[in-house]
Structure 1
Amino acid sequence: MVADARRLTGYLGRMPPDPLAPLLDLADVPAALAAARERVDDALRHRALRRQGGPVAAESGLRAAVASAALEGSRHEVDDVRAGTVTAPVLQGALRVSQALGGLTDLWMRAPRQVLARLHMLAARGVVADADLGRLRSGSERVDALARLVAGNDTSPPLVLAAVVHAELLTLRPFAGPSGVIARAASRLTLIGRGLDPRGLLAVEVGHLRREPEYVGAAGAYATGTPDGIRAWLRHHAHAVQEAADELVSVGDEVLTRR
């Protein structure tokens, strides 16, 4: 995990029932997480979700994919992607990943390694050689450690676990090609599987893109393995989730307007 197999375990010391509990002692982190949770809960009560949940989910998934591809350097306008005129392989991979999340949630919480391989096959098709799809290029032991953290973990707060999953995979980049798409998808799967976003409506990728310089800087800070670095990442992730909640409200308003 983190930059080497000792980083998080060294920071946490003896593993408590919730191995990520000490992260809640970092300054400003609990407040940021609470604000994000409150914003999400408010967004999930939007009246568009009562009868128009399908269109809202489809639009949110589209925006999430476009934002995730943009963070990998494949930038396209949402309207062009919606019109089906963009064939760029990274963007197409991000779309496949976004569409597959609902069917991978249960397996993610039981067999994360298997899901990561599947996500890579979806994200990197047409980008890397077929023989490399689903295959780790490095960091097998660290990915195993992350998988053990995820599988069956019903104690760590969903926002914290999702943030750590994201940052670990973003730092490690264990797959060839668009590994960032996989990191962001795994984080989303954690939020869905742990019940924070059970319908998969939060386009957290949009929040990261809106704060792209902060996203890059906070990920780099996390990779140092210091408490301040981890704190910077957790706060960024909470803010990105708040942005995603605001985006969900915007999508809901647009769907109601089109009725």
Structure 2
Amino acid sequence: MSTTGATADPLAALGSLPGVAESVESVRKAVDRVYGHRVMRRRSTAVTSEAALRGARGSAALSGADWALEEVRRRSDFGADDQALAVGAALRLTAEAGQLLSIWRQSPLRVLARLHLVAAADQGDEVGRPRQAGESVDEPLIELELPTADEVAGRLDGLAQLIVAGSSAPALVTAAVVHGELLALRPFVSRNGLVARAAERVVLIGSGLDPKSVCPAEVGHAELGRAAYLAALEGYVSGTPEGMAAWITHCGRAIELGARESTAVCEALQRGAA
């Protein structure tokens, strides 16, 4: 995987890259503002539910299904066309992410397989396992060079080992690396972007940074825009210190924007407007 050198704790080493510590601190303050809101003491379940809906909408938008929030809220049929299928997959993944926390630290590859199974339940026999040699990938919005199946297998194993071993790295760093590595590898034949963003969510919840899942990074990624998302991803794939720092800080900004979104939800709930 793309890191800055072989150390006992390579994820922790990424925390010392320029701008990363500042991003970590800014994210922590943004998250604390949401959790400190008076509405969270009484109606945190409502905030979590709304964050899940908005996060799913944002993730689907980055996969080409940019629906209005009220359309996502209103619809019950998500099998009509490709965009509807993507939105439905994003909603299912958001619901599933919180159910997999106990498995993630012991068997992250099982969690990734489960996430793909949930996301691509409407597809064929390739669902729920990494792609094999000769299989194509349906991920048209990411045009980076596609790693081979053998490289995917090796790098997934390496990522899993890092997760199981644990790290002193801030949650932002770990979440960004998991997200970036899955986007770079595109290990499944489809729905890789949705799975990568769901895995980021799993890390943020399981790390304790956002245990109630009220700071949807997917909202921020969508707000920052697909062009900025792909440009930051290119930095990750480059493996340079500057590129890695740019990706991590981009993910940090996305979490901050997700936190801002939920702060607005708290304000609306307080006024009785949502």
Determine if the alignment matches structure 1 residue 248 to structure 2 residue 262.
Answer: yes
Unaligned runs of 5+ residues in structure 2 are: 79-83, 132-148
Determine if contact 1:202/1:248 at 8 Å carries over to the other structure: yes
- In the aligned structure 2, how far is the partner of 1:121 from the partner of 1:195? 26
What is residue 168 of structure 1 aligned with on the other side?
181
Once the two structures are superposed, what CA deviation does each residue of 1:125-169 show, in whole Å capped at 9, x if it has no partner?
22x32x111010131111111111112515221111011111000
**Equivalent residue number for residue 114 of structure 2:** 118
2:33: which partner in 1? 42
1:12 and 1:20 in contact (8 A); partners too? no
Q: Supply the AA of the counterpart residue of 1:219.
A: L
Does residue 1:28 correspond to 2:19, yes or no?
Answer: yes
Q: Which amino acid aligns with 1:180?
A: G
Give the TM-score taking structure 1 as reference length.
0.91
Give percent identity, aligned residues only: 39
Aligned to 2:104: 108
**For the structure 1 residues 152 and 253, does the alpha-carbon distance in structure 2 shift closer, same or farther, using more than 3 Å as the test?**
farther
Secondary structure at 1:89 match in 2: helix
Structure 2 equivalent of residue 196 of structure 1: 209
- Whole-angstrom CA distance in 1 between matches of 2:100 and 2:15: 28
Provide the rounded CA distance (Å) in 1 between the counterparts of 2:272 and 2:107. 40
Write the deviation string for residues 176-209 of structure 1: whole angstroms up to 9, x where unpaired.
1110111111111111111000111111001001
Question: Matches of 1:32 and 1:74 in 2, distance apart?
Answer: 29
Kept in 1, the 8 Å contact 2:15–2:169? The answer is: no
Q: CA deviation at 1:30?
A: 0.9
Corresponding residue SS for 1:151: helix
Matched AA of 2:187: P
CA distance in 2, matches of 1:152, 1:256: 42
Shift of 1:36: 1.1
Q: Which amino acid aligns with 2:58?
A: A
Counterpart of 1:225 in structure 2 is 239
Choose between structure 1 and 2: higher helix proportion.
1
Q: In structure 2, what is the equivalent of residue 136 of structure 1?
A: 130
Inter-partner Cα distance in structure 1 for 2:33 and 2:272: 22
1:12 is matched with which residue: 1, 5, 14?
5
Distance in 2 (alpha carbons) for counterparts of 1:146 and 1:23: 15
Alpha carbons 1:29, 1:231 under 8 Å: kept: yes
Distance 2:238 2:49 in 1: 37
Q: Which residue of 2 aligns with 1:210?
A: 223
* Distance (Å, rounded) in 1 between the aligned partners of 2:195 and 2:93: 8
Question: How large is the RMSD of aligned CA atoms in angstroms?
Answer: 1.4
**CA distances 1:198-232 after superposition (whole Å, capped 9, x unpaired):** 11111100100111222110001111111111011
Who is 1:5 aligned against? none
- 8 Å contact kept, 1:107–1:115: yes
Give the 4+ runs in structure 1 shifted more than 3 A: none
1:67 aligns with 2:63: no
| CA shift for structure 1 position 85 | 4.9
CA distance in 1, matches of 2:188, 2:154: 14
Rounded Cα–Cα distance in structure 1 between residues aligned with 2:207 and 2:49: 21
CA contact (8 A) 2:221 2:254 kept: yes
Q: TM-score if structure 2 supplies the norm length?
A: 0.87
Matched, 1:258 2:263: no
**Count of paired positions:** 248
Tell me if 1:78 matches 2:92.
Answer: no
Structure 1 gaps of 5+ residues are 3-7
